[in-house]
Amino acid sequence: MTDKKKTVPGTGLVQGLATTFKNMVTPAHTRQYPDVAPELAPRTRGVIALIEENCTSCMLCARECPDWCIYIDSHKETIPAPNPGGRERSRNVLDRFAIDFSLCMYCGICIEVCPFDALEWSPEFEYAEYDLRELLHEKDRLGAWVESVPPPVALDDAAEEPKEIALAQKSAAKKQAALDAEQQGSAE
């Protein structure tokens, strides 16, 4: 024996109309995007920007990319010795740096593994294209977004000093004390 609730016919219709009327008179929270720019969070991930001067063509970003969407070409260049009798040095020169944003999943691994901070997040997000092939961005286009990269967040004044800095200061103080003791010994 089940008790069936007796409902008045049309109650659901009245509740639906009440919800519709309530939403009809409240103001909308929609932003009219093309006319009004959106308010983005301070460190929004939009597109990856390249600081070409920092790139040493180490290929870490390309190797760690899970989508294999970063293409780097470089060549070695010999730098003459700065002093006579010195040794010549060689360095990598970046020929091509490209990211295929049609493959990229915006995980940020390439930015995290770059030891020279050559890649940064830019908040730019308006780079849609009609042709998929146009989403392969070369180093000149990646370098154009560097201007929009926000500065890094300031360190907390109340935070502890990193252990590395404390150890470096400690060893520098020991060396200075040894030098001072040596100078006092030679002065006597």
Q: CATH number of 47-148: 3.30.70.3270, 1.10.3720.10, 3.30.1370.60, 3.20.20.140?
A: 3.30.70.3270
For 55, residues 6+ apart whose C-beta sits below 8 A from its C-beta are 94, 97, 116, 118
Residues in the chain with pLDDT < 70?
1-5, 188
- Tell me the C-alpha to C-alpha distance, in Å, between residue 135 and each of 58, 98, 104, 131: 24, 10, 10, 8
At 188 the pLDDT is: 66
At 155 the pLDDT is: 77
E strand intervals along 55-176: 70-79, 89-100, 119-122, 136-137
At 4 the pLDDT is: 63
The span from the CA of 135 to the CA of 128, in Å, is 8
- The secondary structure element, H or E, covering residue 47 is strand 47-50
Cβ-contact 52, 139 below 8 angstroms: yes
At 154 the pLDDT is: 78
At 142 the pLDDT is: 96
119-122 and 47-50 beta bridge pairing: antiparallel
At 3 the pLDDT is: 56
70-79 and 89-100 beta bridge pairing: antiparallel
At 2 the pLDDT is: 55
Q: Tell me the per-residue pLDDT of 100-132, one tens digit each, with 9 for 90 and over.
A: 999 999 999 999 999 999 999 999 988 889 999
At 21 the pLDDT is: 92
Q: Where are the domains of the chain?
A: 47-148
